[in-house]
Amino acid sequence: MTAIVEILSALFLLMGVFLFLVSAFGIIRLPDVYTRNHAASKSSTLGIMFILIGTLLYFYYEHGHFDFRVVLAIIFIFMTSPVAGHLIMRSAYHTGVKMWDRSVQDDLKKTR
């Protein structure tokens, strides 16, 4: 039983780190603020959630210590990170950051 949980928590940690890596690559590779924000706000959210779930499982089965603060951290990150992504997007748009030249459509421009 503990071996299964060990492997499971290791898998969670590895997946989380991999998602962090992908989000870092995305920030480097993608062309403008808006598309970079896609990578930053999604991948790192799930990445940090996976890492926290992995630590929760490990400490629960290996040391018999269920830390509820980790669960709270998962919930808080899950609630706040989409809002943070939206606010960065919005302030970038309102300060006039240009979209990538290969962008095709901008419905918001018509209303202003």
Partner 1 sequence: MSFQILLNVFLAVIWMFLKNEFNGSTFIIGYMLGLGIMFIFRHFFNERFYLKRVNAVVLLLLIFARELILSNISVLKAVLKPSLDIRPGIFAFETVLTKDWEITILSNLITLTPGTLVVEVSEDNRILYIHAMDIADKDEAVDSIKNTFEKAIMEVSK
| Binding-site member from 10, 86, 97, 98 for partner 1 (CB under 8 A) | 86
Task: State the DSSP code for 112.
Answer: -
Distances (CA, A) of 78 to 2, 13, 85, 90, 97: 28, 17, 12, 20, 27
Contact criterion met (CB below 8 Å) for 57 and 5:
yes
Three state DSSP letters for 39-86: HHHHHHHHHHHHHHHHHHHHHHHHHCCCCHHHHHHHHHHHHHHHHHHH
Q: Which is nearer to partner 1, 6 or 20 (CB)?
A: 20
Closest distance between partner 1 and the C-beta of residue 54, in Å?
A: 16
| Binding-site member from 29, 65, 72, 98 for partner 1 (CB under 8 A) | 29
| Binding-site member from 20, 34, 59, 60 for partner 1 (CB under 8 A) | 34
| Binding-site member from 26, 48, 52, 70 for partner 1 (CB under 8 A) | 26
The site for partner 1 (CB under 8 A) is made up of 19, 22-23, 25-26, 29-32, 34-35, 37-39, 41-43, 45-46, 78-79, 82-83, 85-86, 89-90, 93, 99-100, 102-109, 111
